Amino acid sequence: MLAVIQFAGITLDLTITAGTIVEVAVIAGGGLLALSRLSTKFALFHADLTNVKTDVGDMKEDIKKVNQLLATTAEADRRIGRIEDIVYGLARGDGWVTGHKRHSVDGEYPTPT
């Protein structure tokens, strides 16, 4: 069977041969095989997504714990900063004991008469 169509300067050969039939069968078979493999991959991907959802829930709990630890650390840093300020003041002579103004304790004990 020989069929040739010409339209606007384009020639289209519609001859059906055994080679054409085999070619179409191979391409269709490859497409079906790829589709079946991809559907299996999509099923595995869907199962992985459900695991990711539970992992995200666990991560949220861990983030809350980390936030609590950061708040505790910030409070500790603030307290340490206050203690450092007190020690610095004591080193300069400001505070309970001053050595450069008097040779006795400032205001802690009454002066003996």
Q: Which two three-digit tokens encode residue 56?
A: 């995200």
Query: Model pTM?
Result: 0.37
Burial of 98 (0-12, 13-18, 19+ CB in 10 A): middle
Find out whether 104 and 112 touch, Cβ atoms under 8 Å.
no
Three-state DSSP class for 48? Answer: helix
Three-state DSSP class for 94? Answer: coil
Which pLDDT score is estimated for 41? 77
Domain ranges across the chain: 11-92
Q: Cα(58)–Cα(67) distance, rounded to whole angstroms? A: 14
Show pLDDT as tens, one digit a residue, over the chain (113 residues).
567 787 788 888 778 888 888 999 999 999 999 888 888 777 777 767 777 777 777 888 889 999 999 999 999 999 999 998 888 877 666 666 545 555 555 555 555 55
Per the DSSP assignment, residues forming a β-bridge with 92 are none
